[in-house]
Amino acid sequence: MNAPILSTGAAPAVLVMSEAVFALGLALLLVSPLAIAGVALINTGLGRSRSAAQALVGSLAIVAITAIVFALVGASVAGVLGGAGWSFHAAGKSWNWIGNGPFLLGGFGAATPRTQLAVVFEFLSVAMAALIPWGSGADRWRLTAGCAAAAVLAAFVFPLAAHWIWDGGWLTALGINFGLGAGFLDPGGAATVHALGGLSALVVVWIAGPRRGKFPKEGLSTAMPGHNAVYVLFGCFVALAGWLAWNAAGAIVWLCAPLSTLPLTVVNTLLCASSALAATFAVTRIRFGKPDASLCANGWLAGLVASSACAALVMPGAAIFIGAIAGVMTPLLVELFELALSIDDPSGAIVVHGASALWGILAAGLFAHAAGQFLAQLVGISALLGVFLPLVYLLFASLNRIVSFRVDPDGERIGMDLHELGGGAYPEFVIHRDESYR
């Protein structure tokens, strides 16, 4: 079996890419939006029926807005199309901290094949990153505010992370500047997409607050199960197809992986998800007497998220272990967050995308077998928690003063579909009195 690819130093920016590799990379990127579709379907199914249409139309709007804003501003801040970027010198090292590429995708047509694929990859990544918090704000986050938050993420926050991690920023250069393995590695977007999205989801939940009736004045929190388990579970299948392509495309674009290593990346992705599902299945079976469908779906997705960090870097045995840990911690953390920490996260995105991504990043350092790689991954995690979480909080809290995140109580009572769209997703359903309102 071919060993996983792990180059030393920064990713070669001007590596010549053959037409066959370019065609394969583009084909994989054309399949990757299935991962976005799967997450959108899962988020919708885990929300309530009275907000289903708003959830899906919001997902579409977020994909559209992120694409436009990233093309207008974000790609320039990320520096994906080149440009030296803004650097400062400290302690005898150069710290490249923000890109200054051309606006409006200038020079895209004349860019190298690898750069063109990187641009497409980042378009998909920014859409996924902005979609993740949308699920956590389900049933109370206004559509306008969700779109505004997506625009903020696409204009500045995601591009800054992408520059640091993918486009020649200081985290990429940790290998060269400080001898830390190959620098911070994130071929599938575990940090740039999922950890960033998960941390943004935490901020949204903090700012918007819990759903009405979720934490009553007396007693335990109210269970508000997702309205359609079929959407959720079918979304897992759709996400798998997208994730297999996404991780393989990431290996081509960010690691310049030879084609012979791609089947290993694909198998590792599947193994991570499978062992995570098996672990969640076992944990929920032991804790509740029967396996829980929505938590199993969350476990599956957590395995896929963890694979984003490590599928191209580890061997199959390690992939099974990494997925299993993600699968064990998902139901336990979901329960902890809801019951002990009063965090109302309908889609479980904080755990599924945030915590699992952080675990995957750490595990990539543990199993990648390169000197200093573990420390490089730790520094990346430190940047995510110490810079991006406070930054997103600052930006979203400011935005909340301009465009209120939370819908008014009447809108929450009648449902986001009727309040924001004027019509429901299931017009033939009989609306029952909601027992959760006390």
User: Would you call 158 helix, strand, or coil by DSSP?
Assistant: helix
Is 379 a binding residue for another protein by CB under 8 A? The answer is: yes
Find the helix or strand (DSSP H, E) in which 96 lies. strand 93-98
Q: Considering only residues 197, 210, 235, 331, which one is a binding residue for another protein as defined by CB under 8 A? A: 210
CA distances from 278 to 233, 312, 348, 356, 395 (A): 15, 22, 18, 16, 39
CB nearer to another protein: give 109 or 409.
Answer: 409
Strand-pairing partners, residue 90, are 93
The count of residues interacting with another protein (CB under 8 A) is: 32
Rg from Cα positions in the chain: 21
- Residues contacting 82, CB < 8 A, separation 6+: 101, 107, 111, 115
Cβ count near 283 (within 10 Å): 22
Q: Considering only residues 82, 102, 291, 372, which one is a binding residue for another protein as defined by CB under 8 A? A: 372
- Within 114-173, the residues that bind another protein by CB under 8 A are none
CB of 174 to another protein, least distance (A): 8
Cα–Cα distance measured from residue 9 to residue 185, given in angstroms and rounded to the nearest whole number? 11
**Tokens 């089947």 label which residue?**
263
| N-terminal to C-terminal alpha carbon distance within the chain | 60
Is 50 a binding residue for another protein by CB under 8 A? The answer is: no
Q: Considering only residues 22, 178, 321, 426, which one is a binding residue for another protein as defined by CB under 8 A? A: 178
Convert 164-220 into a string of H (helix), E (strand) and C (coil): HHCCCCCCCCHHHHHCCCCCCCCCCCHHHHHHHHHHHHHHHHHHHCCCCCCCCCCCC
Strand-pairing partners, residue 94, are 89
Q: Considering only residues 23, 30, 385, 403, which one is a binding residue for another protein as defined by CB under 8 A? A: 385
Q: What would the two tokens of residue 301 be?
A: 């997705």
CB of 92 to another protein, least distance (A): 9
Cα–Cα distance measured from residue 100 to residue 13, given in angstroms and rounded to the nearest whole number? 16
CB of 380 to another protein, least distance (A): 10
Is 9 a binding residue for another protein by CB under 8 A? The answer is: no
Site string for another protein, 211-250 (x = CB under 8 A): xx--xxx---------------------------------
**Tokens 């809290």 label which residue?**
397
CB of 221 to another protein, least distance (A): 10
Q: Considering only residues 86, 88, 103, 206, which one is a binding residue for another protein as defined by CB under 8 A? A: 206
Is 389 a binding residue for another protein by CB under 8 A? The answer is: yes
Site string for another protein, 75-104 (x = CB under 8 A): ---------------xx-x-----------
Q: Considering only residues 31, 37, 315, 378, which one is a binding residue for another protein as defined by CB under 8 A? A: 378
Q: Considering only residues 106, 285, 390, 414, which one is a binding residue for another protein as defined by CB under 8 A? A: 390
Q: Considering only residues 387, 399, 418, 421, which one is a binding residue for another protein as defined by CB under 8 A? A: 387
Q: What would the two tokens of residue 309 be?
A: 């960090």
CB of 13 to another protein, least distance (A): 23
Is 411 a binding residue for another protein by CB under 8 A? The answer is: no
Question: Which residues are near another protein by CB under 8 A?
Answer: 90-91, 93, 174, 178, 180, 206, 209-212, 215-217, 341-343, 372, 374-375, 378-379, 381-383, 385-387, 389-390, 393, 409
